[in-house]
Every structure is written in C-alpha cells, then in structure tokens.
C-alpha cells in the first residue's frame, strides 16, 4: 500500500535540533536529507566536502549534475533538468509521497533553496524544508551537545550511505505555471502591474559592474534588486518572518506577492528570495528559471546597462 503523504510543514525551514531529533527517532527512515553543498568556481568542491563529512545518511545533490540540465547556449547557465530524469533520480534516492525532505548547504541556503523550490513548487512534493543555518548550524549544535569525539558519530558521517531502496514518485507532477521563460518575461515587461521582477544578484552585478559570470552586464528593464544575502542574519540563518515580510513589503509594496517573478544570474539564488518570501507568508511568487544568463544570450532583448 502506498503510504499517505504528510501534511505540509508549518515552516519551509527546519532547525538543526529538530532534524537531529527526527533522524534519531523511530521514523528516521521517512526522512531524506539532500546535501547541496557547491561552489560555483570549483564545481567538485561540494561533493568532496560531502565525502569528508555529512549528515548521516544524507545523499549528495550536485547542482550541475542533479539540479540542472544541459545548456544549449540560450537557456542559461543552470537550466532546469529534464523533469522525468530528475524525478527518476528522486525515485532512486528513495522518495515516496510520505518522505520528508530536508535540503542543506554551507552557503546560507543559496543552493539548498534551489532543491527546495524544485521539489516543493516545481514538482509539488508536500514536505520539503531547508535546514536553517545549514551545515554550520549542524556542526555547531553537534559540538555543543557531544560529550566526546565519539559523540559526534551520531551527527557526522564520513562514509557514503548505503543505497536507499527505490521509492515511488507517481505523486509528482510538473507545475508549469511556477516557471516563466524569456518569452513570458518579455511579454510581461508591457504589464508592470502584473509582473514585478525581483533580481537576487549582488548590487554591483545588477548595475552591470564587475560581471564575471555572464558575457553581458546589466539587468532586465524594470527589475528591482534584492540581494539574496539580505535575507540572512549574521549567523547565516534566515531573518525572522516578520522582519522579512516588512522588508519585502517596503521594497515591493503590500499585496504584490502574486505578481513577483524571481530571477538572478542563472535561476539559483533567485530561489533564496522565493524561500524568504514563503517564510514571510508572501506566497504565490514564481521563478524565471533562465534568468539573466538566458535573457542576455539574445542581444535583441531589452537590457539596462
């Protein structure tokens, strides 16, 4: 019999103490941790770090290999993967309708948010959360609670986990309405009341300065800049929901969430703003998956430089 799906969690975030309690409890097998650590400049660094130490039984989700698809020169630097291939990967990782998924990284959630969005919003899996504070929060709590080095064994694993039994993913379905392409965004430029572009890149790249990742600097006309790192406190956790809501309302205006389309350089850090708005209760926003790297591939598209 197919297990019933869990209700949606109260928050898109989970704390390290909550995750440890879940993984130590009788229902540990119902949880799937995706380790999404990655470095854009060193694409193998995250997987190497995972092999050196990770949350017990976590599986590694590589940004380029698992969370992105093939590039064709027009679809951006991190296009969404083929949905059927990604769903099959999730099945091999043991995903079922009842699985509680937690994504984590060591970069404030910038890569974990991508995996969270793909499962929760793109494919509609009911229970997906991001580990607030990521790998650093996990290690900090481990060292705070472990009485000896041996005590860390329940927190950190340095061997690859055994293969999980394949799951069943028939409950997943692609939600096309959550994703916009270049044609959709171009049409939306004439309807600013219906589409508010929110660009998650650093302010200098938004202005067109110091562009090192894409061949053209600048931004889409009418876009508003919200650097994704502004969502974080000094300890690397997301700011409280009320504070995030006040900041987004101040930037976008109250009641504008349903018009917001998130973008960045390649559709990765844009998901962090989407996550932060969900945490703040500002739901219904969407993603321009190709983002600036897809947009600027066609010089005929309007650009502010």
| DSSP structure string for 236-265 | SSBPPHHHHHHHHHHHH-TT-GGGEEEE-S
pLDDT, mean of residues 251-272:
95
pLDDT at 256 over 90: no
Bridge-based pairing state of the strands 128-131 and 13-14: parallel
Rounded average pLDDT over 197-220 = 95
Q: With a threshold of 0.85, does the pTM exceed it? A: yes
pLDDT band at 146 (very low <50, low <70, confident <90, very high): low
> Above 90 in pLDDT, residue 153?
no
- Mean pLDDT, the chain, rounded, equals 94
Give the tens place of pLDDT for each residue, 118-128.
999 999 999 99
With cut-offs at 50, 70 and 90, classify the pLDDT of residue 290.
very high
The mean pLDDT of 34-46, rounded to a whole number, is: 97
Residues with active-site annotation: 264
Secondary structure (3-state) at 287: strand
Tokens of 207: 């202005």
How would you label 165-182 residue by residue, b for 16+ Cβ within 10 Å and e otherwise? Answer: eebebeebeeeeebbbeb
Distance CA 287, CA 177 (A): 9
How high is the pLDDT of residue 208? 94
Average pLDDT over residues 234-248: 97
Residue 148 has pLDDT above 60, yes or no: no
d(CA 85, CA 77): 18
Q: Which two tokens stand for residue 262?
A: 């998130």
Contacts of 209 (CB under 8 A, 6+ apart): 217
Q: Structural domains in the chain?
A: 13-154 (3.40.250.10), 176-295 (3.40.250.10)
pLDDT tens figures, 13-30: 999 999 999 999 999 999
Q: How far is residue 173's CA from residue 170's CA, in Å, rounded to a whole number?
A: 8
pLDDT in the model for residue 150 = 55
What is the rounded distance in angstroms from the CA atom of residue 209 to the CA atom of residue 231?
22
- Of 302, 269, 285, 292, residue with least CA distance to 75: 292
């Amino acid at each position: 019999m197919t297990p019933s799906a869990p209700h949606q969690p109260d928050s898109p975030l989970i704390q390290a103490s909550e995750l440890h309690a879940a993984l130590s409890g009788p229902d540990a097998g119902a949880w799937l941790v995706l380790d999404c650590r990655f470095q854009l400049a060193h694409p193998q660094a995250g997987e190497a770090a995972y092999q050196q130490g990770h949350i017990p039984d976590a599986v590694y989700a590589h940004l380029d290999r698992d969370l992105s698809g093939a590039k064709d020169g027009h679809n951006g630097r991190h296009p969404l993967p083929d949905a059927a291939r990604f769903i099959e990967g999730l099945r091999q990782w043991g995903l079922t309708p009842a699985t509680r998924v937690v994504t984590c990284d060591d970069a404030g959630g910038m890569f974990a948010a991508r995996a969270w969005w793909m499962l929760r919003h793109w494919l509609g899996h009911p229970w997906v959360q991001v580990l607030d504070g990521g790998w650093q929060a996990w290690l900090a709590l481990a060292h705070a609670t472990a009485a000896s080095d041996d005590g860390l064994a329940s927190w950190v694993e340095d061997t690859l986990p055994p293969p999980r039994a394949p799951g069943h993913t028939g409950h997943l379905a692609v939600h096309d309405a959550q994703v916009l392409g270049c044609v959709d965004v171009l049409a939306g430029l004439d309807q600013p009341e219906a589409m508010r572009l929110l660009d998650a890149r650093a302010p200098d790249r938004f202005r067109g300065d110091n562009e090192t990742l894409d061949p053209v600097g600048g931004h889409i006309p009418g876009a508003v800049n919200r650097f994704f790192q502004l969502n974080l406190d000094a300890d690397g956790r997301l700011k409280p929901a009320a504070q995030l809501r006040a900041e987004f309302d101040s930037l976008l205006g109250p009641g504008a969430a349903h018009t917001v389309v998130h973008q960045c350089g390649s559709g990765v850090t844009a998901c962090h703003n989407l996550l932060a708005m969900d945490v703040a209760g500002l739901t219904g926003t969407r993603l321009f998956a190709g983002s600036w790297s897809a947009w600027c591939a066609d010089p005929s598209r309007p650009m502010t430089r």
